[in-house]
Amino acid sequence: MRRNFWLAMVTASMIAVSIAIFGVFLLLSVNVGQVMQNIAGNVEIAVFLEDRADTNSVLSAIKGLSGVAEYTFVSREQGLLDFGQTLGEKDLFLVLAGENNPLPNMFRVRTLDATLVPAMADALRKVRGVEAVDYGEDLVAQLLNMTRWLNSMFLAISLFLGLGAMLLIVTIIRLSVMARQEEIGVMKYLGASNWYIRLPFILEGATMGLLGSLIATLSLGAVYFRLTSNLQNGVLPFLFRPVTEVAALWPIFAFLLLLGFFLGIIGSLLSVRKYLREVRRTA
Amino acid sequence: MIEFVEVTKQYPGSKVPALNNVSLQIQRGEFVFLVGSSGAGKSTMLRLLFREYLPSSGNILFLGRDSAKMRPRELLKHRRRIGMVFQDFRLLKQKTVFENVAFALEVVGRSPQEIRLEVPIALAEVGLLDRAKAFPGELSGGEQQRVGIARAIVRKPTIILADEPTGNVDPENAWQLMELFTQINRTGTTVIIATHASDVVDRLRKRVIALEKGRIVRDEKRGVYGYES
């Protein structure tokens, strides 16, 4: 280990880079997930009532459904005002007030979870007195799709990077194994057990892995919190706030640390394997 | 103690077997020379004895136990009963004489106290106690081989296997080394030496097993080298 100090340092920093990139993807994934959840969680189901519907019976039907987070009743008059307001002119539709109002009474319903929306919409359609239900089907479906797609992409890239880091460790520990090939040969002739021979290399790998991932998590953590605290104070709307809760983040950093550690161990096991293989009849 | 039963060893990619249908017995405490030209199968025989290789066919028995059937733990025990001596010494250059000998004890997990006790005894036996702090590079070939022998005997093995131990050593030192081997043999250790040193073999009159093209052509209790050299 002492002799290969700089080589070990290079390995550790390469591991650090791989793990850091992996960490960036993990954090991105978590944040994308959060944004998606925010957006999807804000999807409202608009429940339009028939002209002569009994508002109270529809209300009790909505209360009876499970998964409803909140609901509000919007009368046709209120609806007209809201509509005007969204177009920037509160009094725009005043002429349509009263008997001429084309809008129906409606409920806005929010679900506890975005994935519940389609089923909920179906259930609401069946309620007596409901004329139509609308929730932006396409938007929700697209968001869910996109999240799924992004996650599998992150997973694929992460696997790829992990494999790269592992190959790196294997290569570099193999160098150090090769540098000590003579010693390993002598050990074998002196009747050393395979674990006795392996142990120093495993320690070396584990140290490099842990050191690398420690550097990676520390710098990643520093950068991330710096970045998010800037964003938090800033202009981003609620929907795009980054994840900053420690409870959500510490598993990621712990995972990265463990990952480096185990990559180091597995890498060194793979590197020595060739030199410890027992003879076979045909060998 | 050691029995070869119709042992054939064929290396992959070679047409002629390195050992061809060899059967022999070696008793505990014997002193055996393996002689024969290069490639006759001497080294192969030593490697089979160490169970570095398994025979392609036939069986090798140690104390009645088939070498092919040894489980990993048993194999380790088997190898730890053997002291190996090499033509090129195989000492670790960055370790001192003392450390090289101590290494044989370290790798099998002996305690530092034991090491402090046993290493000087082994070094005294080969007459190198005063060079304990030297590095292999500072020693002559003969001295280096004596370190190799000290390393082989420090664990008090039941068998010593030596592959051309005097091959890189001048004749006078070769004699001293052989003297050492006979001394070790006198304490009851089985010694098996593959060698080209005809004069030594002729003078010592020990058991000689002559190999030619992988077959035993001669096996005499008090034999001579018997080749032009």
- Overall number of domains in chain A: 2
Q: Look at B110 and A85; give whichever has higher pLDDT.
A: B110
Task: Select from A135, A157, A189 the last residue of a domain.
Answer: A135
The pLDDT-based confidence of B229 (bands split at 50, 70, 90) is very low
> A198: nearest CA in chain B?
B107
Q: What local confidence, expressed as pLDDT, does residue B228 receive?
A: 53
Mean confidence (pLDDT) of chain A: 81
Does pLDDT of B133 surpass 90?
yes
Report the pLDDT value the prediction gives residue A54, as an integer from 0 to 100.
Answer: 84
Cα B209 from Cα A53, distance rounded (Å): 111
**Residues A17 and A110 grouped into a single domain:** no
To the nearest whole angstrom, how far is the Cα of B77 from the nearest Cα of chain A? Answer: 8
Check pLDDT > 90 for residue B159: yes
Probe site for chain B from A189, A193, A277, A282 (most B CB atoms < 10 A): A189
What is the predicted pLDDT for the residue at B85?
Answer: 96
- Cα-based angle B19, B44, B191 (whole degrees, multiple of 5): 115
**Residues A208 and A169 occupy one common structural domain:** yes
Are A186 and B103 within 8 A, CB to CB? Answer: yes
Res A281 pLDDT > 70? no
Q: How confident is the model at residue B94 (pLDDT cuts 50, 70, 90)?
A: very high
What pLDDT score does A236 carry?
Answer: 62
Separation CA B87–CA B175 (nearest Å): 15
Q: Which of B76, B90, B92 sits opposite A191 (nearest CB)?
A: B76
Nearest to residue A126, comparing CAs of A47, A69, A54? A47
Q: How confident is the model at residue A278 (pLDDT cuts 50, 70, 90)?
A: low
Tokens of A227: 């970045």
Residues of A in contact with B84 (CB under 8 A): 189-190
Shortest CA distance from B73: residue in chain A: A193
Dump pLDDT digits (tens) for B29-60. 999 999 998 889 999 999 999 998 899 999 99
**Which pLDDT score, from 0 to 100, does residue B207 have?**
95
Among the partner-chain residues B53, B75, B107, the one whose CB lies closest to the CB of A190 is B107
The region of weakest confidence among A76-80, B30-34, B202-206 is A76-80
A226 is in which domain, residue-wise? 5-39+142-282
Rounded to the nearest angstrom, the minimum Cα separation between A187 and chain B is 7
* pLDDT number for residue A238: 65
The last residue of a domain, from among A103, A135, A167? A135
Q: Is the dihedral of CA A11, A16, A22, A24 positive or negative?
A: negative
Cβ pair B90:A186 closer than 8 A = yes
Q: Is the pLDDT of residue A283 over 50?
A: no
CATH code of the domain in which A75 resides: 3.30.70.3040
- Residues in chain A with CB shorter than 8 Å from the CB of B107 are 187, 190-192, 196
Asked if A149 and A27 sit in the same domain, the reply is yes
Residue B101 is predicted with a pLDDT of 97
Please tell me whether residues A169 and A207 are part of one structural domain: yes
Closest approach of chain B CAs to the CA of A278, in angstroms? 8
**Contact criterion met (CB < 8 Å) for A279 and B68:** no
With 80 as the cut, is the pLDDT of residue B80 above it? yes
At A172-204, the pLDDT tens digits run 788 878 888 888 889 989 999 988 999 988 998
Question: Does residue A268 carry a pLDDT above 60?
Answer: yes
Q: Which of A1, A4, A190 best probes binding to B when mutated, by most B CB atoms within 10 angstroms?
A: A190
Q: Same domain for A70 and A115?
A: yes
Indicate whether B62 pLDDT > 90.
Answer: yes
| Nearest residue in chain B measured CA to CA from A180 | B92
Question: How many other CB atoms are found less than 10 A from the CB of residue A191?
Answer: 23
Same-domain pairing of A97 and A189: no
Residue B208 near residue B219, CB atoms below 8 Å: yes
Asked whether the beta carbons of A233 and A280 are under 8 A apart, the reply is: no
- Chain B residues close to A280, C-beta within 8 Å: 54
What DSSP string runs through A51-67?
Answer: TT--HHHHHHHHHHSTT
Are the Cβ atoms of A278 and B72 closer than 8 angstroms? yes
Tell me which DSSP letter residue B142 carries. H
Residue of B142, B136, B97, B143 whose CA lies nearest to B120 = B97
What is the rounded CA–CA span in Å between residue B20 and residue B134?
Answer: 44
Q: Do A178 and A234 fall into the same domain?
A: yes
List chain A residues with CB under 8 Å of B12: 282-283
> ipTM of this predicted complex?
0.87
**pLDDT-based confidence at residue A282 (cuts at 50, 70, 90):** very low
What pLDDT, on a 0 to 100 scale, did the predictor assign at position A234?
62
- Whether A190 sits inside 8 A of B103 (CB atoms) is yes
Where a domain ends, among A120, A135, A150?
A135
A150 and A93 share a domain? Answer: no
* Mean predicted confidence (pLDDT) in B64-72: 91
What span, in angstroms and rounded, lies between the C-alpha atoms of A80 and A93? 7
Name the minimum distance, in Å, from the CA of A255 to any CA of chain B.
Answer: 35
Same domain, A111 and A154: no
Structure-model confidence comparison of residues B64 and A39, the more confident one: B64
- Among the partner-chain residues B53, B68, B108, the one whose CB lies closest to the CB of A192 is B108
> Which residues of chain B neighbour A281 with C-beta distances below 8 Å?
54-56, 68
For chain A, the residues whose C-beta falls within 8 A of a C-beta of chain B are 182-183, 185-187, 189-193, 196, 278-283
The pLDDT tens digits for A221-233 are 999 888 888 776 6
- For A280, the closest chain B residue by CA position comes to B54
Q: Does pTM top 0.80 for this prediction?
A: no
Cβ–Cβ under 8 Å, residues A71 and A86: no
The mean predicted confidence, pLDDT, of chain B is: 93
Per-residue confidence (pLDDT) for residue B61, from 0 to 100: 95
Structure tokens at B66: 């088939």
A48 and A27 in a common domain: no
**Residues of B at the A interface (Cβ-Cβ below 8 Å)?**
12, 50-56, 68, 72, 75-76, 79-80, 82, 84, 86, 90, 92, 103-104, 107-109, 151
Q: What is the structure's pLDDT at A239?
A: 65
Residues A133-151 have pLDDT tens digits of 888 777 767 877 887 888 8
pLDDT of residue A90: 66
Whole-number pLDDT of residue A23: 87
* pLDDT at A11 exceeding the cut of 70: yes
For residue A72, give both structure tokens.
């509000």
Q: How far is CA B23 from CA A53, A254, B45, B96, in A?
A: 105, 62, 11, 41
Give A11 to chain B, closest Cα distance, Å.
Answer: 25
Span B118-131, mean pLDDT?
A: 96
Q: Both A87 and A184 in a single domain?
A: no
Residues A170 and A56 both lie in one domain:
no
Q: pLDDT category, A249, cuts 50, 70, 90?
A: confident
Residues of B whose CB is below 8 A from A196: 107, 109
pLDDT band at A4 (very low <50, low <70, confident <90, very high): low
